[in-house]
Chains A and B, each alone.
Chain A
Amino acid sequence: MTPRDIESLIQLFESGDWTAMELRFGDSDLFLSRDPLQRPCWDGSEGSSPQPQARTTRTALLTIASPEAKPAEATASAHYHGHVVVKAPSLGTFYRAAKPSAPPFVEVGHRVEPETELCLIEVMKLFTTLRAGVAGTVSKIMVSDGEMIERGQPLFTIDPDG
């Protein structure tokens, strides 16, 4: 199984509508999933896993799909079952609210417009606002408050209008 084979499998997977694929060949295992929280069945952990592991899995897959060192997020699907994936524009700390005591900007199920604030990203005390960029409904929030995020990391999914 060469990197090129794996690349072909990933392309096949992304162009189809499978939700997950597990392959075993020799002493290698390949696990592909559209759900960043899903674990392969051979991974001992149950249910929802710490986010960093799922993120590493997705990052490793994307790196294989970009052997010429293209930016990883360029090959990642920007859609997830038709939903828009909002990704971190930079590394930083993720905050769901304007202040620790304030209510979160959005929850799952909230309606958003393109200008709606989703979260704050802080880098060395400099805060930037991340906006939805699309009109729709928040369907998933993938990161917890105060967590460090990396550039390109999926943060929210939004079910777009229309």
Chain B
Amino acid sequence: MADHPAFGGRLFVANRGEIALRVIRAAHALGMDTVLGVSVADGESLAAREAGQTVVLGPAAARASYLDQDIVMHAALATGCTALHPGYGFLSERPELSSLCAEHGITFIGPAAESIKAVGDKLSAKRLAKSAGVPLTRGSDKIPDVEAALKVAASIGYPVITKASAGGGGRGMIVARSPAELAEAFGRAATTAREAFGDDTLYIEAYVERARHLEVQVVGDGDGRVVHFGERDCSIQRRYQKMIEEAPATVLSDDIRQRLRESAVNLLSSIGYRNAGTVEFLYDEARREFSFMEVNARIQVEHPVSEEITGVDLIQLQLEIGTGLRPLPSQSAIRTKGHAIEARILAEDPARDFSPTPGRITHWSPPVGPGIRVDTGFAAGNVVPPYYDSMIAKLIVRGKTREEAVDLLVSALSRFEVVGIPTNIPLLSAIARHSDYRSNNVSTRWLETTLLPSFTA
């Protein structure tokens, strides 16, 4: 990491848990002061202890604290902050927060509001992708009714999947393998979408049976230049939530990898994208084709694996680009080396259908050693609160090859001691030891259809 001058300025950290701590430490390394907004449930968190100042935003419920944009903005302004980092989740993809910051002279560490809007709506993002020459899944624009759905599906070919235009995470997504199934699923998907996102607009795509979730990490300077930090393979998922991610995607041939990375860069440079983002793709292993899925206009949970193979601290880079402290590196200055894997440690009990397990961690001893990194907001004695998502840590391992990284993952998981609450560590171990995973013979449905049915905690 190059030396840089000490930088003034005060950063408001509008998030919690491991990412809040990550951002605070990155800011302090750059000479920035920090203010952390907390709910009353997070007043004693690790992040709160390390922040320069802590402000209580509101009660534990996220909608009255971390999700209350006016309260967050007011706290940032009242504490004299010059910049704001939204983390991931919560308000990070609300274009209004980006524009509110701009109106009040606070540097938003993320894209401009127009970019967030342009890529946030999935249908508009697909149009952008098309114009940028990025391959798309065979699919539709928005579908007004069942008749239109059946027509489109007939031309795409079954199986198809319904998707909500306004959001993801699996909600509104139903697979239909025949016209009869599609006719039945359409209404159900629209209702789910309306309940989850306030918008029942659906579109339809070809459903790929054996798919990989691949994504490319990019950072833009807001002036048209965008660089990538390699791709990630996030195919180990349960109910569309990622559990294990890795970089690079060794399933790809070099030429497809290159085209994938270039597609991501072309898409975001076409809109002059600023700061960090990820372009997500679906890779059809059988056809050896990738297609555009969506853009996440923020830093993501799994960014560390891209950091490990490029040697770049992406959070620090976000702050440097956002505040103008240094220019975006050139693509030729970014090299990838080795292999990295991240496993999400969740406060969920695989033996009880993944029910969340809030409670007090009485013993917390993450593994240490060369090539092992643990990003967490928790320490021994902390209470995992019931109000937020279940991720309590990220275990990241690095090796010269994928085989080495997988071996280290197995070893590190066996040394990850958490007592007081059940976690998904036994499941992560089972995945890491499975011959399919070790030989990288997996798909996005592998965890749920192959491993979980035979898994006993």
Interface residues of A (CB under 8 A from B): 59-60, 63, 67-69, 71-73, 90-93, 122-124, 126, 148, 150-153
- Which residues of A sit under 8 angstroms from B387, Cβ to Cβ? 69
Residues of B within 8 A of A (CB-CB), count:
22
For the complex, is B451 an interface residue (Cβ under 8 Å from A)?
Answer: no
For the complex, is B329 an interface residue (Cβ under 8 Å from A)?
Answer: no
- Which residues of A sit under 8 angstroms from B60, Cβ to Cβ? 69, 71
Known: A150-B55, A152-B56. A91 touches B383 (CB 8 A): no
The residue that A69 contacts in the complex, of B41, B58, B79, with Cβ under 8 A, is B41
For the complex, is B313 an interface residue (Cβ under 8 Å from A)?
Answer: no
13 A-B pairs with CB atoms under 8 Å apart are A69-B60, A69-B387, A72-B40, A72-B56, A91-B75, A93-B78, A122-B74, A123-B70, A123-B71, A124-B74, A150-B55, A151-B56, A152-B40
Bound: A13/B74 CA distance, A:
36
For the complex, is B385 an interface residue (Cβ under 8 Å from A)?
Answer: yes
- Which residues of A sit under 8 angstroms from B40, Cβ to Cβ? 69, 71-73, 151-152
Known: A63-B44, A91-B74, A148-B75. A69 touches B385 (CB 8 A): yes
Known: A91-B74, A151-B40. 16 other contacts (CB 8 A): A60-B43, A63-B43, A67-B383, A69-B40, A71-B40, A71-B60, A72-B40, A72-B56, A91-B57, A92-B71, A93-B74, A93-B78, A124-B73, A126-B70, A148-B74, A150-B56
Interface residue ranges of B33-74 to A (CB < 8 Å): 40-41, 43-44, 55-60, 70-71, 73-74
- Which residues of A sit under 8 angstroms from B79, Cβ to Cβ? 148
B71 near A68 with CB under 8 A, answer: no
Most buried by B among A63, A91, A148: A91
- Which residues of B sit under 8 angstroms from A153, Cβ to Cβ? 56
Q: How far is the CB of A111 from chain B (nearest CB, A)?
A: 32
- Which residues of A sit under 8 angstroms from B239, Cβ to Cβ? none
Bound: A151/B64 CA distance, A:
11
Q: How far is the CB of B56 from chain A (nearest CB, A)?
A: 4
- Which residues of B sit under 8 angstroms from A150, Cβ to Cβ? 55-57
Bound: A69/B73 CA distance, A:
25
- Which residues of B sit under 8 angstroms from A151, Cβ to Cβ? 40, 56-59
Residue of A nearest to B71 (CB): A91
- Which residues of B sit under 8 angstroms from A91, Cβ to Cβ? 55-58, 71, 74-75
Bound: A60/B73 CA distance, A:
24
- Which residues of A sit under 8 angstroms from B58, Cβ to Cβ? 90-91, 151
Interface string of B434-446 (1 = CB under 8 A from A): 0000000000000
Q: How far is the CB of B9 from chain A (nearest CB, A)?
A: 19
Known: A67-B360, A69-B385. A90 touches B71 (CB 8 A): yes
Q: How far is the CB of B335 from chain A (nearest CB, A)?
A: 44
- Which residues of A sit under 8 angstroms from B383, Cβ to Cβ? 67-69
Bound: A102/B387 CA distance, A:
42
Q: How far is the CB of A130 from chain B (nearest CB, A)?
A: 16
